Amino acid sequence: MKNRIAELDYLKSIFILLMIVFHLVYIGDKYPYAKALVYTFHMPAFLVISGYVMNIAKGIRPFLRTMWWIFIPYAVMETGYVIMSAILPVRESVEHLSVPLWLDKLFLHPLGPYWYLHTLMLCGLVYLLVDKLAGKWSNTVSVLIILALCYAVLSACGILSLINALYFTAGVALRRRSINFRTFFSASFWALLPVIWLAADETNLNKSTLSGAALTYLMISFLLAVYRYLPDYLKKGLGYIGSHTFVLLVFSPVFTMAVKPLVPVLAFEPTGMLFLCVSLCFCVIGSFAIAWGMDKLNLSRFFWGKARMLS
């Protein structure tokens, strides 16, 4: 999309910051209910937005080039994560490193937080294939049905989460039907009331259910209402984060692991909010610092496929 939509960058910034917060093991363990609530809507909303902005109209070669330059950072960081999972005492650990295991994690069953990039690439490539093979002879509904069936097959093979793919498909549907995102997700503070009602029952905190889909819709609607009243400096700051979520997706896991030693240091503050704020700032600033350093050292062209990642 040539012209960025400020509201989408804002939403992406909120969801990526929530992702980082609840990748902090200490916070997730201390507030399990809040984690369950956030996990119900933050990545589904991210996937809806991803499907909405997925641009296959620019042509096969440019699209494949985009996918390639998602794959390179993904491959580097997923490889590093697999290696570290064999060394460090993490929850998703591997006992023995091997080439078959590495290939399995890289192409089929990603380990750790990089599953989103794997899902994005797989959904995008299948979408391109379906569009090119069936798009000229089928209407939008037919394309969406074929797309969902393809995702279902991949899910049955254990390669892709069907519910994640369906949220992505929902975004594709909005885009193909030329439905304005801000019109479909109508901004409303009233959306908070049903959010509270649904969140009061823990059984609703499941992205695979209708209540999970409702929570995703309602939270987007509520956050869009909040956006209207934010001061310009905050809109600008969040917009910058939202336009560079790729950097945070790639590098923030490094820092969510690195801040673990801060837990006993900041344990004097019992709520964990001090640890949250310090760690979140550390993760965001650290991630951007790496990207900035890569820009300065002219390494970005080899990692991101562009001369400068930060603008």
* DSSP letter for each residue of the chain: --S--HHHHHHHHHHHHHHHHHHSHHHHHH-HHHHHHHHHHHHHHHHHHHHHH---TT-HHHHHHHHHHHHHHHHHHHHHHHHHHHHS--SS--SS--HHHHHHHHHTS--GGGHHHHHHHHHHHHHHHHHHHHTTTS-HHHHHHHHHHHHHHHHHTTSS-HHHHHHHHHHHHHHHTT--HHHHS---GGGHHHHHHHHTSGGG--TTSHHHHHHHHHHHHHHHHHHTTS-HHHHHHHHHHHTTHHHHHHHHHHHHHHTTTHHHHTTTSTTSHHHHHHHHHHHHHHHHHHHHHHHHTT-HHHHTSSS-S--
Q: Give the model confidence (pLDDT) of 200-225 as tens digits.
A: 999 999 999 999 999 999 999 999 99
pLDDT of residue 1: 45
Residue boundaries of the structural domains of the chain:
6-261
pTM of this structure: 0.94
Per-residue pLDDT of the chain (311 residues; tens, 9 = 90+): 457 899 999 999 999 999 999 999 999 999 999 999 999 999 999 999 999 999 998 889 999 999 999 999 999 999 999 998 888 766 677 778 889 999 999 999 998 889 999 999 999 999 999 998 876 666 788 889 999 999 999 999 999 999 999 999 999 999 999 999 999 999 999 999 999 999 999 999 999 999 999 999 999 999 999 999 999 999 999 999 999 999 999 999 999 999 999 999 999 999 999 999 999 999 999 999 999 999 999 999 999 999 999 97
- Phi and psi at 309, nearest 5°, equal -90, -40
Q: Give the model confidence (pLDDT) of 37-82 as tens digits.
A: 999 999 999 999 999 999 998 889 999 999 999 999 999 999 999 9
pLDDT of residue 136: 62
Cβ atoms within 10 Å of 102's Cβ, excluding its own = 16
